[in-house]
Amino acid sequence: MRASATTAAVRDRTAGRVAVPPAPPGGRLGRVRLLRSWRVLLPAAVGLPLLIMAGAAWLSWQQAWRAAETEMAHAADAAAEYARRLLDGQLLRIEFAEELLNGLSDAEIRVREPELHARLRRGVASGAVSDAEGPPSGLHVLVHDRNAFPLVSSARPSVQRDRPYIDPALAAEMRVVPPGEVRITPVYPGRDTGRQFFSLARRREHAGNRLPEGEFDGFIVASAYVDAVADALRRLAPSAEDAVALVRADGAVLARSMGFEPGRPVPRLGPDNSALAAMRRGEARAARVGRSTADGRERIAAYRRVEGWPVYAAAGRDRAVVAARWRAGALPLLGLGLAATGLLAALTLLVRRKQEELAAANAGLEGRVAERTAALVASERRNREVLDSLGDLLYALDRDGRVRFASRSLLKGWGLGEERVLGRHLLELWPPLVGSLVWEAVRRGIEAREESHLCTVSPVLGRWVEMDVHPPGDGGVTVAVRDVHDLREAEIERRRAEGELRDLLATLDLGAIMARDLDGTVRFWSAGCERLYGWSAAEAAGRSAHALLATRFPVPVAEVEAALLHTGEWRGDLRQRRRDGSEVVVSAHKSLRCDAAGRPVAVAENLTDVTALRRAEEQLRASEERLRLAQEVGGIGAWELDLRTGERHWSDSGYRMWGLEPGEPITRDVVLSLIVPEDRAEAQAAIEQADS
C-alpha cells in the first residue's frame, strides 16, 4: 500500500498525534560521554593508520616476492632456450665432423691433418653449423682415436699426440657408451690453456680403420668454454645481482653467470637439494626457496629442463636483494605514513579541544532550548495543518460533491479558472468521471466516510495519477492527486529493459572457447572466437592472447594468475579489441588444466560477448535510479501485490512513509496495524474483498 505525504499528515492530525522534538541531553552527562568517547578515539586515530601501514608494507613485500619469482621464472625459460640451442649446435658440429671424416682411417687423418683442420675450423665457425649461441672462439671440436689420443682439432692446426687430451675416466666411459648416444661431460680445465670447458661426446661410427662392426674406434668431442657460456648467461640475467646457471640432471654445475671461484672445485647441487630431486624425477619445471648448496646463499630459484637434454637452466635471486629492493620502495612510503600519522594525532587533539569548548557552549544553550520546546510544539501543530491544505494537486468537495477548494496547480492542470470551478459539482465539471474509479473513491469517501488510495489513468488528464481520498470531520472529502505518468512510463521501460536483458541472457550460450599456454601463447581457437574477434585460428595460433586482443583486466594480471594457481579458475569481465579495432566486453571463465602429475600446463577460457548485456544493465540501473528519484522527489511510495503468491513488495519511500524499517516483511496484519482502530474493521473487509 502507498500513501502520500498529505494523507499521512491528515491521518496524524485526525489521530491527535503531534511530533515533539526530543529533549537535549544533560550538559554534565554529555561532557562525560564526550570524554569517554575521546579515550577510545585518540588511540584509534593513531593505531589504525599504523595498522594500515603495516598491512600495506606486508602486501608490498608479498608483491616484491612474487615479482622476483616471476622474473626468475622468465630468466630460467630464456636460459633453457639458450642452452637448447647451444647443445643442439654442438651436436650439429659433432655430426659435421663425423661426415667430414667418414671412411677415413686414423693414419689418413694424421696425413691430411692440416687440410682437415682447416675444413673443420671453417665448418665450426661458418653458417654450415651456425646456431647463434655465441662467438666461435668459445667453441671447438676435437676428434680422438680409440686410445683417447687426439687426431684433429678445429682449434689447432696440429695436435700433440704424445698423450691423451681427455680425462681417463671419460675415455673409459666412452668405450661402453652405445653408438649414437651423446654424453655431456662435467667441467674440466684445459690441458694447455687452463680454461674450463664442458663437452658433448659421441663415438665415431664410420671410421676407416676396418675394425669389426660395433668395435670402439674413437670418439668426437664438441666443447664450450665455461667463461664464454657465463658471458651469455650474464646477458640473460635480469640484473647483475641475479645468478643464472646450467646444471646437469645429476647436480653437476656446467656454467654460472658469476663464474667459478679460482682454485676451488666446480660446485654441484647437494643430495638434499629439493630441486635436484625434481631433476632426477625428470620434472620440466621446479622452484625452491632456500640456501644454495653450491655457494651457501639463500635464494629464490627457478629451474627449467632444457628440451631434449638432461640439463636444467636455473635462475636465482638472493633474498637479501629482494629485501633491499622492497626497502627502497617501501621505507619512503612508511616514513611519509608515520609523519601523516603524527599530524593526524595532533589534529585529533586539536579537534578534541574544540569539541570540549563546543560542549561547554552547548551546555549554556540547553536552558534556552528547553524554554522554546513548548512554542515549537504549537508551531509544529500549526505547520501540519497548513501542510494538510497544500499539495501539488489538491481539491476539496463538500458533502454534496461540490468543489469548495482547488489548488493552483490543479486549476492549471484542469485548464480552468477558480471562478469556473468553485461551487460546481465535480461531475458537472467533468462528466467523463461518471462510473470511473476516481468517482467511486470520492463517493465512498463522502457517503461511507471511507479513506482510500488508488492509482489509475485519470479520465480528465488522460495520464496516470495517484489519488488519496480523506474524509475530514466536517463532512465532504479532501482529495490529493499526483501526476505519476512519467513514473509509470519509467516502470514500463524498466520492465521492457528487464525483458530485453532476459532475452540477451538466453543467447549467452554461444560463447567462444580458447586454450593457451601458461605464458599466454594461443594453442586452440574455436570458430566462436573467429566470429567474436575476427582472427582465424591459423592467424591466432602461436601468438600471445593478451597482446593479440589488447586485453585490459579489472585487476592486476598477477592476481588473476595467483587465483588460477590457488583455486584453479577465475571469472570476470575483460575489455578486448577485435581485429577491426572495435572494443568488446567479454565475460571470461578461465580454468587451469594440469597434467597427470598435477602440474599446470595450460589455461582454457570460455569467453562470452557481454557488451550488449553490460550496456543493458547500465540502462536498467539508470531507469531504476530515475524511478527512485521520481519517488523521492514526489514524496510517494510504491507497492506491488503478487495475486498468485500474495507477496507484497514496498519501495524504500513507502517504508519510510509508514515509519517501518526497509526490508521488513509486510503482511496483512502489519498493514491493518497501521490503520487507526476505528477504521480497521472496515479496511480489513475491503482488503479481503480485493483479495478475493
Query: Cα 508–511–514 angle (5° rounding)?
Result: 160
Give 436-449 pLDDT, tens digit per residue. Answer: 888 888 888 888 88
Q: In the prediction, which pLDDT does 603 show?
A: 92
Q: So what's the pLDDT on residue 635?
A: 64
Confidence of residue 141 (pLDDT cuts 50, 70, 90): very high
The stretch 653-680 carries a mean pLDDT of 76
- For the segment 4-16, the average pLDDT, to the nearest whole number, is 43
Query: What pLDDT, on a 0 to 100 scale, did the predictor assign at position 126?
Result: 67
Q: Is the pLDDT of residue 404 over 70?
A: yes
pTM for the full model? Answer: 0.46
Across residues 326-331, what is the average pLDDT? 78
- Does the pLDDT at position 646 exceed 70? no
> What's the mean pLDDT in 161-170?
79
Residue 379: per-residue pLDDT: 64
Residue 229: pLDDT band (50, 70, 90) is: very high
State how far the alpha carbon of 363 is from the alpha carbons of 103, 374, 606, in Å: 115, 19, 67
Task: Give the side-chain half-sphere CA count within 13 A for 100.
Answer: 28
Sign of the Cα torsion 14, 18, 19, 22 reads negative
Per-residue confidence band for 27, with pLDDT thresholds at 50, 70 and 90: low
Predicted confidence band of residue 81 (pLDDT cuts 50, 70, 90)? very high
Q: Which of 544-558, 624-638, 658-672 has the highest mean pLDDT?
A: 544-558
Q: Is the pLDDT of residue 87 over 80?
A: yes
Instruction: Express each pLDDT in 255-269 by its tens digit.
Output: 998 888 887 888 888
Whether the per-residue pLDDT at 273 is higher than 50: the answer is yes
Higher model confidence: residue 71 or residue 40?
71
C-alpha cell of residue 438: 476516481
Looking at the chain, the whole-number percentage of residues with pLDDT higher than 70 is 83
What CA–CA distance (Å, rounded) separates 524 from 604? Answer: 9
pLDDT of residue 2: 43
Residue 11's pLDDT band (cuts 50, 70, 90): very low
Asked whether 169 and 199 are in contact (CB, 8 A), the reply is no
CB 569 within 8 Å of CB 589: yes
Give residue 220's pLDDT band: very low, low, confident or very high (50, 70, 90).
Answer: very high
Give residue 58's pLDDT.
84
pLDDT at 63: 87
* Cα 110 to Cα 270: distance, rounded to the nearest angstrom: 44
Q: What is the mean pLDDT of residues 394-418?
A: 83
Comparing 654 with 116, which gets the higher pLDDT? 116
Number of residues that make up the chain: 692
Whose cell is 585529533? That residue is 348
Q: Which residue has the higher pLDDT, 233 or 508?
A: 233
pLDDT band at 499 (very low <50, low <70, confident <90, very high): low
Q: What pLDDT does 662 receive?
A: 77
Over range 360-369, report the average pLDDT: 73
Q: Which three cell numbers stand for residue 524?
A: 586452440
**Confidence (pLDDT) at 7:** 45
Contacts of 672 by beta carbon, 8 Å cutoff, 6+ apart? 680, 683, 684, 687
Residues linked to residue 316 through DSSP beta bridges, in sequence order = 243, 301
Average pLDDT over residues 584-602: 89
Q: What is the mean pLDDT of residues 357-385?
A: 68
Cβ neighbors of 124 (< 8 A, separation 6 or more) are 93, 96, 136, 139, 140, 141, 154
Q: What is the pLDDT of residue 85?
A: 94
Which of 149-158, 508-517, 617-626 shows the lowest per-residue confidence on average (mean pLDDT)?
508-517
Residue with cell 662467438: 135
Among the ranges given (207-211, 390-394, 467-471), the one the predictor scored with the smallest mean pLDDT: 390-394
Higher pLDDT, 210 or 389: 210
Q: If you average pLDDT over residues 226-230, what whole number do you get? A: 91
Average pLDDT of the chain to the nearest whole number: 80
Mean per-residue pLDDT for 122-134? Answer: 56
Q: Stretch 453-467: mean pLDDT, rounded?
A: 84
CA neighbor of 144 nearest in space, from 129, 131, 160, 132: 160
Q: Give residue 508's pLDDT.
A: 39
Say whether pLDDT at 12 is over 70.
Answer: no
Residues 31-54, mean pLDDT to the nearest whole number: 69
Residue 216 vs residue 386, higher pLDDT: 216
Find the mean pLDDT for residues 329-345.
75
Position 506 pLDDT exceeds 50: no
Q: How confident is the model at residue 24 (pLDDT cuts 50, 70, 90)?
A: very low
* Residue 498, pLDDT above cutoff 60: no
Determine contact, residues 145/168, Cβ cutoff 8 Å: no
CB half-sphere exposure, 391, CA atoms < 13 A: 29
Residue 633 has pLDDT above 50, yes or no: yes
